[in-house]
Amino acid sequence: MPGTGVLFALAVGSGVIAAVRSTWSPCGQSMLSSITPVAEAGRGHRFGSTATFFMIGALLGGAVVGAVCAALAAGLAVVDPPVGPRLALIALGALAGVLVDAGFTPWRTPFLRRQVNEDWLSAYRPWFYGGGFGFQIGTGVMTYVMSTAVPLTLAFAVLTASPRRALVVCIAFAAVRGSAILLTARCRSFADLQGFHRRFERWREPARRATIASLGLVSALAAVAAWASLPAGVALAAVAMLAVVFARPADLGTDPALAARPAPSARSQRAPVPAGPAGGSGSIDRIRAPLIEVVT
């Protein structure tokens, strides 16, 4: 049925939106400052290997969550609800996501304010911390949830009523989420990392508003498909555009990634030093503090 194809496309699109927005989470920023060519060289490791383990872990995380969604989708397939009501649920769910992400409800993002344990960087081997961090990131539900697009993606995956498609939606999210680790692949010095984080931080609010607009587009397209009504789609799109324009800006109280951060110590501001023969990391494991200070 054409409607099921539209539903699947909207679910995948929501997953991509969620993954991109999640890159600006505290956890995403941590990965982009803690697992870099500079940091890995300082620990005596190869960035390419660690990044590979990270992406593999992310895919595994997406597959685990995808298996759960696939099981629920299989149960929904037994009931076999018409595709129209399922598309309507997507339209209404995405609209609710627009309102929440724009700050117009009592429920404010982010949800699940949990970070990965950065002590792993100095305690374990690259395959473990790379894969472990990637797994948590890839699930989408074990660290900071920066947008309603994340839970909506999981709900939309179930609404496909197809185990295979539900699995694909979750793995697509994990693939995009995990590949973000490559953003710093060309940073070869501390100055490169500082410049990258300056540029990255400037895109925080535009990315947030683009996410709101994208959820609005998902809502509008789902409405047109569900009710065969172009005016309904236009109305929902208009609501989303108003939400983008009048969205409450992220501030210290609503976005912990911008919350007060400890000032870097003298030791943390030292230039990174190469690892010793035993693989010690010198001050490189504290690289995140001065990088964060640069963009505040």
* Amino acid identity for residue 197 in this structure: H
Q: Return d(Cα 44, Cα 248) in angstroms, integer.
A: 44
Number of other CB atoms surrounding residue 201 within 10 Å: 17
Structure tokens at 55: 């992406």
Nearest alpha-carbon partner for 291 in 185, 195, 207: 195
Report residue 277's pLDDT band, with 50, 70 and 90 as the boundaries.
Answer: very low
Q: Return d(Cα 87, Cα 206) in angstroms, integer.
A: 28
Q: Do residues 89 and 210 lie in contact, with contact meaning Cβ atoms separated by under 8 Å?
A: no
Q: Do residues 101 and 109 lie in contact, with contact meaning Cβ atoms separated by under 8 Å?
A: yes
Q: Do residues 238 and 219 lie in contact, with contact meaning Cβ atoms separated by under 8 Å?
A: no
Q: With 70 as the cut, is the pLDDT of residue 268 above it?
A: no
Percent of the chain at pLDDT exceeding 90? 69
Q: With 90 as the cut, is the pLDDT of residue 91 above it?
A: yes
Look at phi and psi of residue 195 and say left if phi exceeds 0, alpha if psi is from -120 to 50, else beta. alpha
- pLDDT, residue 125, reads 93
| pLDDT average, residue stretch 4-9 | 93
pTM of the model: 0.84
* Amino acid identity for residue 269 in this structure: Q
Angle separating helix axes 230-246 and 204-227, nearest 10 degrees: 160
Stated length of the chain: 296
Coil, helix or strand for 266? coil
Q: Return d(Cα 215, Cα 96) in angstroms, integer.
A: 9
Number of other CB atoms surrounding residue 285 within 10 Å: 19
Share the mean pLDDT of the chain.
Answer: 85
| pLDDT average, residue stretch 176-180 | 95
Q: Return d(Cα 218, Cα 138) in angstroms, integer.
A: 22
**Which of 18-32, 174-188, 245-259 has the highest average model confidence (pLDDT)?**
174-188
Q: Is the dihedral of CA 146, 220, 168, 175 positive or negative?
A: negative
- pLDDT, residue 196, reads 93
Is there a cis peptide before residue 37, judged by omega within 30 degrees of 0?
no
